[in-house]
Chains A and B, each alone.
Chain A
């Protein structure tokens, strides 16, 4: 099957806590896939395993059909997976433009490390991306002076600067105001229209339902459902997971979930 990103039975335990339990997901090229689930269901852990920040205990991760399981973060990035973090991470003592140029180095032809950082083409491309996300007027400011929302936009911008095959967004709408959420959603749509593939972890249901298809639901590290927004919304196992219906349904739903995944 044609997928950009695929995980196959990925498991990860932290001490006695099974953060991921045979989690298998697939992201088709050109899609905006969503990954939801209650707090502690393993969404960020799955991101960390995919991008090399955590080692999987078992299972495989494939990018464009090639196994990339447990490669270090810099290799995973070089192969074409860019990600943002739940708690936005930028380089505060460097300017916004310098932030952009770190990731952009991978696009540059020059291998000479002592060449001046950021050729004209990289700077132009970086500025275009900053204009696209709406923070170009801050290009020369220190990234540490940006507001939280602007930092989110910067992190998205510099991940895009490397032109990855797939972008993993960890709670892009978390902690930002409604008009900025709308802005970010529209940027993702625009990028997707131009062919970019996304996998998005998000708690904001309006954001996910309006943007993502398919949506995969994790609970206790397992995939319990996967499908369109409509299917997921009406799935009793998903309602169980979020609202905690009666306990007897739990085991059953988990079995069905892993069978369907």
Chain B
């Protein structure tokens, strides 16, 4: 166990991982690009757009709540603002062509900008208090949407704008959704392994200790919140463009806040792929069960059962639990002791025999 402990043993697994992982990601993206060309049934592509929207939302939510541990149930604020902004701008400016999609980056930006005052208020408190405040903000925005003239009150904004070819009507929406979802997951992956991500995870484990190691917690948290709000705003705009209908209770829907949180929990909070998997499973299951149960809300029972199972059986979510299993199998195959073998005090005593510490000298010269 001496030598360079940080260097992974070059097993079959690591080699396969190094080549296989980027390759399988590329393959996945290629398959997703080809999807609407193969499955041309509008009912299928409509469901696919729905899933992409939830993948983007769950992955974006996770880059803030999963990485920092601040569970937000207020991200629908950004979604709703993006939806209303896109609706109002489209109609006011009389946009009809596919140029409308250029509103989505602006809708994302709007979400990010709104997140800053949101964070300055809500991030002054932690844990349960933070959760409660985020829920309250959703209702405040919902009330504003009911009462402002520009949002057309409870009737909302419901005007079809596109006259695309019905046969391929869904495709532009699908590809825009795909771009947002892939960009969000990619950004989530970059952040996870970055210096920034390290700071976010340190905040999750022990915020005050992290501050004592130079992490500017408030700035870092607000940055992550604003970043995570961008895909929500853009996806809100896309939602309006696909459905051309938005009303206060659906723009600022607390149930959707719970849904994206549960998606991330199911797949694995704080992992890159957990929220993606969770969104595909949960939204896929809902889209399947909703018509199966005659359009009733009986599928909530299936949800409930599923989450009960997750919480009791694998509280850390699918991906961490699966990773643990794989690690166990690998350890058994390579017949090595598990990583976390305890060091005895005898080993420490042997360490004392060393001369002038190299690390100290390195520290001096740096």
Contact = CB atoms under 8 A, between A and B. Distances in A.
Contact of A160 (B195, B202, B363): B363
A106 interface: yes
Interface in B335-366: 339-340, 342-343, 345, 347-349, 351-352, 354, 356-364, 366
Nearest to B190: A114
A94 B5 contact: no
B122 to A, nearest CB: 20
Contacts of B216: 74
A157 to B, nearest CB: 9
Contacts of A123: 6
Contacts of A138: 5, 339-340, 343
Contacts of A196: 360
A80 to B, nearest CB: 11
B352 A186 contact: yes
Interface in A104-137: 105-108, 110, 112-118, 123-125, 127-132, 134-137
A78 B357 contact: no
Interface stretch (A2-10, A34-42, A62-70, A175-183): A175-183
Interface size class of A (residues with CB under 8 A): 35 or more
B193 A117 contact: yes
A149 B343 CA distance: 10
B149 interface: no
A233 interface: no
A125 B348 contact: no
B240 to A, nearest CB: 31
B6 A97 contact: yes
Given A106-B214, A107-B366, A150-B343, A160 B198 contact: no
A160 B364 CA distance: 11
Determine the main DSSP class of B at the interface with A. helix
Contacts of B197: 117
B182 interface: no
A162 interface: yes
A113 B214 contact: no
A31 B205 CA distance: 33
Contact of B361 (A134, A140, A194): A194
Given A94-B202, A163-B366, A72 B193 contact: no
B5 A137 contact: yes
Interface in A181-205: 182-183, 186-187, 190-191, 193-196
B348 A77 contact: no
B336 to A, nearest CB: 12
Contacts of B131: none
Interface string A133-152: 01111111110010101100
B100 to A, nearest CB: 31
B339 A117 contact: no
A106 B214 CA distance: 7
A101 B347 contact: no
B204 interface: yes
Given A53-B208, A102-B202, A190-B357, A183 B5 contact: no
B2 interface: yes
Contacts of B194: 113-117
A137 B351 CA distance: 12
A158 B363 CA distance: 12
Classify chain B: how many residues form its interface, as a range: 35 or more
Contacts of B209: 85, 89-91
A92 interface: yes
Contacts of B208: 53, 73, 89
Contacts of A226: none
Contact of A78 (B5, B214, B340, B360): B214
A158 B206 CA distance: 14
B68 interface: no
Nearest to B213: A103
A98 interface: yes
B339 to A, nearest CB: 5
B343 A135 contact: yes
Contacts of B356: 190, 193-194
A32 B211 CA distance: 25
B345 A180 contact: yes
A177 B345 contact: yes
A113 B199 CA distance: 9
A231 interface: no
A60 interface: no
Interface of A: 51, 53, 72-74, 76-78, 82-83, 85, 89-94, 97-98, 101-103, 105-108, 110, 112-118, 123-125, 127-132, 134-142, 145, 147, 149-150, 158-160, 162-163, 177, 179-180, 182-183, 186-187, 190-191, 193-196
Given A131-B358, A134-B343, 10 more contacts: A91-B201, A91-B210, A98-B198, A102-B199, A102-B213, A112-B195, A116-B195, A131-B351, A139-B5, A196-B360
11 contacts: A74-B215, A74-B216, A89-B206, A89-B209, A90-B209, A91-B209, A105-B198, A124-B362, A140-B8, A145-B340, A183-B349
Q: Which 9 interchain pairs have the tightest Cβ spacing?
A: A128-B359, A91-B205, A134-B351, A113-B196, A145-B340, A194-B360, A132-B357, A129-B359, A73-B211
Interface of B: 1-2, 4-6, 8, 190-191, 193-199, 201-202, 204-206, 208-217, 339-340, 342-343, 345, 347-349, 351-352, 354, 356-364, 366
